[in-house]
Structure 1
Amino acid sequence: MTEAESAQSADPGLRKPEAADSRRSAKETLRRCIVSGERHPPAELLRFVVGPDGTLVPDLACKLPGRGLWLSPRRDMIDKARTRNLFARAAKSAVHVPEDLGVLVERLLGVRCLELISLAKRAGQLVAGHDKVKSWLAAGKAGLLIQAADAAEDGRGKLRALGRAVTPGLPVLELFDAEQLGRTLGRPASVHIAVAPGGFADRIAAEAAKLAGVRHGELEAPGGTVPNGRRPGK
């Protein structure tokens, strides 16, 4: 063993420098909520930027240029940031914040969720209809169960129970009505949808959790049921 190898064996800090780099990298990617001061991964927060005209713009896809202003996805956080002028403080400049910012964010999150469901359909990553969804749930092929909020609780409850009996912790989304889900899939109505495990299921569940937080004030834990709710923006 060389002297350098011996030193690495004796000193954990020298033995695995890549681990320290990884920890630093993970820490650096956290973003701070401008209201609570808590730090979270960007994927768990809402991002806003200030446009060229000084107007605050929600950047839900985290792609717009400019310094990001981050918020926990809850309606009370949005309201506090607006009424306490925290966006301007964080941006260190005058910022025009829309009075209906909470409603706007809720509507945009709803649209984003439905667009992801549509993309999952086009990618062949979901099935719709009671029997097809039941078959996927029974076979453990679902990574996310989506059900219309205005459907009968008896039917929703049976599929929910089946899915979680086979796949413990299966996320369940019940935020949209049958007409909204149907329109997203190109049909008059849709009550039951199952999404295959993987990227689409994870992204839809993550965005739905944000929507639930903005709409109801509480984020749903992974594997939780995102509760019933009204149409986005209504």
Structure 2
Amino acid sequence: MRKPRNDSLETHNPERTCILSRRTASREDLIRLALSPDAEVAPDVRARAPGRGAWIGVSKSDLDAANAKGKLKGALQRAFKANEVTVPADLGDRIASALRQAALDRLGLEARGGTLINGNDKIDAAARSGKVHLLIHAADAGEDGRRKLDQAWRVGGGGPRGLEFPEERTILSMALGRENVVHIALTDPAAARRVSHAIDRWLAFIAPDAGLEGGSAAVGAGVGNELNEGTK
């Protein structure tokens, strides 16, 4: 079975500048915004839309505040070199939704690529033998189940505890196309990096006090530790 492509995380990663904070970061750590044919700004979290893009590296709360004050529109007009720019009032919510879907899609790709396992017994055995590179628990996972798998991961040389995914088992099950997915383990280091990056970007954006450029440290530090290392 083919494994998921390693994406641009493992290739040269050019930098971009956030139009609001003016800080520079890797484009993989920022969020691209694109302009639709009718001049409406839309999230382009996979950075695939044609034409000129604008990049942001702030949290949702900061983006919403800048949008409400009109600061975001001015920055976007300059970035797109266009006077006619429509900025949806719920742009922050749209970005958060797109990042959430990107994280779920990433999990689905890894499941189909064979780099992801679920099921307590399978994860326990893999964790104790040092084959787990990232451990994830559904938001509604039981404390006893989390504790047992966290311990198994530590025994195998993994991190102190698994990452709590901000969705419940029903959503994870749908994303993976499997039944009753409560715990997930990534058994390939590159896959673990891809998944943790997708989750980290989402969490960094929706966290109230962390922008994307600071999000890897502020929000995703636990994920990084758990790896046990590991514009147009």
Is the TM-score greater than 0.5? yes
Q: Percent identity?
A: 31
Q: TM-score, normalised by structure 1?
A: 0.76
Alpha-carbon offset, residue 170 of structure 1: 7.6
Provide the rounded CA distance (Å) in 2 between the counterparts of 1:107 and 1:163.
31
Q: Determine the structure 2 residue equivalent to 1:51.
A: 36
Gaps spanning 5+ residues in structure 1: where? Answer: 1-25, 227-234
The answer on 1:198 being equivalent to 2:185 is no
Alpha-carbon offset, residue 173 of structure 1: 4.5
Alpha-carbon offset, residue 193 of structure 1: 0.7
Larger radius of gyration: 1
Are the counterparts in 2 of residues 48 and 69 from structure 1 also a CA contact under 8 Å?
yes
Distance 1:89 1:169, change over 3 A: farther
Alpha-carbon offset, residue 33 of structure 1: 0.8
Deviations 1:28-73 (A, max 9, x none): 9211111111100011010111122101121111111112211115
Q: Determine the structure 2 residue equivalent to 1:92.
A: 81
Q: TM-score, normalised by structure 2?
A: 0.77
Alpha-carbon offset, residue 161 of structure 1: 4.4
Q: Following superposition of structure 1 onto structure 2, how do residues 1-234 of structure 1 map, counting pairs within 5 Å?
A: 29-72=14-57, 74-83=59-68, 84=71, 85=73, 86-93=75-82, 94-164=84-154, 166-168=157-159, 172-217=163-208, 218=210, 219-221=215-217, 222-225=220-223
Are the counterparts in 2 of residues 171 and 205 from structure 1 also a CA contact under 8 Å?
no
Letter of the aligned partner of 1:33 in structure 2?
C
RMSD: 2.4
Provide the rounded CA distance (Å) in 2 between the counterparts of 1:162 and 1:40.
36
Secondary structure of the corresponding residue to residue 109 of structure 1 = helix
Higher relative contact order by CA 8 Å / sep ≥ 6: 1 or 2? 2
Gaps spanning 5+ residues in structure 2: where? Answer: 1-11, 225-232
Are the counterparts in 1 of residues 106 and 198 from structure 2 also a CA contact under 8 Å?
no
Are the counterparts in 1 of residues 19 and 55 from structure 2 also a CA contact under 8 Å?
yes
Are the counterparts in 2 of residues 143 and 171 from structure 1 also a CA contact under 8 Å?
no
Are the counterparts in 1 of residues 150 and 162 from structure 2 also a CA contact under 8 Å?
no
Provide the rounded CA distance (Å) in 1 between the counterparts of 2:216 and 2:167.
16
Letter of the aligned partner of 1:76 in structure 2?
S
Number of aligned residues: 200
Provide the rounded CA distance (Å) in 2 between the counterparts of 1:188 and 1:77.
38
Provide the rounded CA distance (Å) in 2 between the counterparts of 1:188 and 1:64.
34
